[in-house]
Structure 1
C-alpha cells in the first residue's frame, strides 16, 4: 500500500491536539479540509481512526495504535528533511502580495515593517484589493484573505485569531433614531453599505442566531468601496454600518462608534496568508511564512 504522507500528517495533528480546529490552525488549512483528509485516510484503510462527537474528539483503538507507531517515525523524517534542506539561500527579490483591505493585522504596519527590517534584500509589493482572482495567474507570490474564501488546494497560514463582524453606529445617530434590537429591524434604519468593486452588489450583512447563520440584504442610503469613507460617514452620524470588529476597534475605544446587535455576531476563522502548494518555496516566501508564524 502506497504511503499517504499528507493523510498521516493530518491524522497526527488531530491525534496530538484532540481537535480538528486546533489541527487546522496548526497546519494552516481550513477545518473542512482536515475533516476531508481524515475521511479519505479512513476510507483508504477501511477502519475508523477517530471518534467524533459534537463535544470531543478521541482516537479509536486502531487509531491509538497507529498514532503510537507512526508519530516517532514521522518526527525522524522531519529531522532528516530539515537537515537536508538548504538553509544558506538568503531571501531576496520581489515579493508580490495581494491583501484584503480588511486584513487589519497584516496591513496595519508593524508586521510588514518587521519583515522588511529582517529581510533587506526582499522588495515587497503589496496590492490591497478585495477582488477575487487567481493569484498565480496574476503573478502574485501569496495573498491574505479570510479563510472561508480560500481555495482548498492552497496552503494557508493563520495571520490572525478568530474574527468577528459587527454592527456599529455613532452616538449621535443612536440618539436621533434609536438602536435596532434585532437584525430584521435594520430595514427601518439608515445604513451605510460597502462593496468591493463598482460593478458588484453591496455586501450582505451576516448574522447568527441559535446556531443558524443567515444574512440580511440591507438597502443602504450610502454605498462605497472605500472602507475609510464608510467609517468616517458612520462616525459623523450618517447611519449604521457593518464590518470587521478589528477595523472598528479604535473608533469604539474612543467613543466615536458604539457596537450594536453583538449577540447576533458570532466569531469565525480569521485571515490567512495563502499560496500555491509547491514542493519548494522560494526563500523570500519561506521567510515571510516564518515571520508570520513568529508574529502570531
Structure 2
C-alpha cells in the first residue's frame, strides 16, 4: 500500500468512529471540506464506497465496517507503541483515560490526583464516571477502576484501596416515624432510596449478607436518584433509608446525624482495583498512575 494511504486510513477510521465529518475534522486538525475530499479520493482509489452519507449522519457501509474492524486495532497498536517511545523519559507525561464509579473517583482517585497533578504538568487524566461494567478495550479507555470481584478476566489488576464496607443508614428524624428494621425482610415496610445506574438504567439491588447467606434485596420508596451525593443528602434530610459505602456515612454516624441499622447484614466487598489489558504495553503515564494509586497495607 502506498504510504499516503496510511493517512487516508487514519482519516477514514476517525470519521467512521465519530460518525461525523465535523467532529473528525476537529480531531484531525483539518477542514471539513478537505477531509470529505480525502475520503472520496480514498474511496475512488479502492473502487468501493466506505461511508454512507446523509444530511444528518455518517455511517460505514459493509465494506467500511469490515475495513474498520480489521485495520483500526492495528493502527491503534502502532499509535500506542509510538506513544510509549515518546514517553520514555524520567518525568510522567501523556494522557490516561479512566472509567470509574463515583465513589472510587471521590474517595481514592481525586485525593491522590490533587497532590500529583500540580507537580507533573505534562501528566493528564480524563475521568469518566460510569456505573456500568465498561469494556475498556472497546471504548478505548486506558484503564478502569472497579471493585475486585467486578474486574474482567484477563486484565492486569492492581489493588488501590482496602476492602469496602457498606451500611444501611437513616436519620434520627426518620426513625422517630419508623421502627428500625431488624432483618432485610423488614425493608419492605420502609421508604428506601433507590440508586439508578446512569449508564444501564437499572436499579441497584441492595447486596446483603450474613453467615454465608446472601440476599439481593429489591427495595422500594418515594425517591430514585442516580448518584451517591444526592442519596446521602436525601437520607440526612430524613426522606428514607439508604445503602451506601460506610466511609461516606461514617462522619455523619459519628456526629449522630445518621443511625446505622442491619449492621450484621452489611458485607465487605473486595477493595477497588485499577485494571488494564494485560497485552497492552503500559505507557509511562499509565505506569505513573498505577504507582500513584497502588494501595500498600
TM-based fold match above 0.5:
yes
Deviation of the 1:226 alpha carbon: 2.2
Q: Distance in 2 between matches of 1:137 and 1:117?
A: 31
The one of 84, 105, 116 aligned to 2:107: 105
After superposition, the C-alpha distances for 1:243-296 in whole angstroms (9 at most, x for unaligned) are 211222222233221111001112221111111113531000001111122676
Displacement of 1:89 in angstroms is 4.7
Indicate the larger mover: 248-257 or 146-155.
248-257
Question: Cα distance, 1:177 vs. partner?
Answer: 0.7
Does the aligned pair in 1 maintain the 2:190–2:221 contact within 8 Å? no
SS of corresponding position for 1:102: helix
What's the CA shift for 1:131?
A: 2.5
**What does residue 91 of structure 1 align with?**
92
TM-score by length of 2: 0.66
Q: 1:133 to 1:279 in 2, by over 3 A?
A: closer
Gaps of 5+ in 1: 1-85
Deviation at 1:220, TM superposition (A): 2.6
CA contact (8 A) 2:172 2:258 kept: yes
Local SS of the residue matching 1:191: coil
Q: Which residue of 2 aligns with 1:237?
A: 238
Distance (whole Å) between structure 2 residues aligned to residue 277 and residue 198 of structure 1: 26
- Measured in 2, the distance between the counterparts of 1:168 and 1:91 equals 42
Q: CA RMSD for the aligned pairs?
A: 2.0
**How far did 1:118 drift?**
4.2
Deviates more, 1:205-214 or 1:282-291: 205-214
**Mapped partners of 1:208, 1:246: distance in 2:** 19
CA positional deviation for 1:147: 1.3
Counterpart contact for 2:160–2:295, Cα < 8 Å = no
Aligned residue for 2:229, secondary structure, equals helix
Aligned residue number for residue 143 of structure 2: 142
TM-score by length of 1: 0.66
Deviation at 1:96, TM superposition (A): 1.2
Contact 1:180 1:186 in 2 (8 A): yes
Unaligned runs of 5+ in 2: 1-86
What aligned pairs does 1:138-287 form with structure 2 within 5 A after superposition?
A: 138-197=139-198, 200-278=201-279, 280-287=281-288
Q: CA contact under 8 A between 1:157 and 1:289: conserved in structure 2?
A: yes
For residues 123 and 88 of structure 1, the distance between their equivalents in structure 2, rounded to whole angstroms, comes to: 15
Deviations 1:5-39 (A, max 9, x none): xxxxxxxxxxxxxxxxxxxxxxxxxxxxxxxxxxx
| CA contact 1:163–1:244 (8 Å) conserved in 2 | yes
Aligned residues: 210
What's the CA shift for 1:101? Answer: 0.9
2:294 equivalent to 1:290 = no
Structure 2 contact 95–124 (Cα < 8 Å) conserved: yes
Aligned partners of 2:133 and 2:150 also within 8 Å: no
Q: How far is the alpha carbon of 1:87 from its aligned partner?
A: 7.0
Determine the C-alpha separation between the residues in 1 that align with 2:137 and 2:218: 33
Q: Are residues 199 and 272 of structure 1, via their aligned partners in 2, closer, same or farther at CA, if it must alter by over 3 Å?
A: closer
CA distance in 2, matches of 1:266, 1:97: 27
Per the TM alignment, residue 223 of structure 1 is displaced from its structure 2 partner at its CA by: 0.7
**Structure number with larger C-alpha Rg:** 2
